[in-house]
Amino acid sequence: EAGVVQSPRYKIIEKKQPVAFWCNPISGHNTLYWYLQNLGQGPELLIRYENEEAVDDSQLPKDRFSAERLKGVDSTLKIQPAELGDSAVYLCASSPHRGRYNEQFFGPGTRLTVL
């Protein structure tokens, strides 16, 4: 069974440029999460989707971050414009269960470097 797929794996951009990350969850998983992970820290939840509905986005900095999951399958996270402090690993996870604390399956992440 294929795991969670994320692309790109690495991205280097200059500050003020836009950037987008793509995630394809495990087939049949209706819940999808986006996390941000800084070096030496645990993942921090940005947004959670149940199918195509964003049910938990209180941690998403909405002035520059946006996300979509139009058909309830794959998802895109966008940053526009990127800032130096956005350099981090962006993780996507999916789950066959609803809710926050059920087992999640993580992708390998996208490492973003903002210069």
Partner 1 sequence: LAKTTQPISMDSYEGQEVNITCSHNNIATNDYITWYQQFPSQGPRFIIQGYKTKVTNEVASLFIPADRKSSTLSLPRVSLSDTAVYYCLVGDKDGANNLFFGTGTRLTVIP
Binding site for partner 1 (CB under 8 A): 4, 33, 40-45, 48, 58-59, 91, 93, 97-109
CB 83, min distance to partner 1, A: 23
Looking at this protein, which amino acid is placed at residue 65? F
Q: Which is nearer to partner 1, 80 or 113 (CB)?
A: 113
Task: Using only the alpha carbons of the chain, give its radius of gyration.
Answer: 13
Residue (of 26, 28, 73, 27) closest to 49 by Cα position: 73
Q: Which is nearer to partner 1, 75 or 104 (CB)?
A: 104
Q: Which is nearer to partner 1, 5 or 81 (CB)?
A: 5
Q: Are 93 and 5 in contact (CB under 8 A)?
A: no
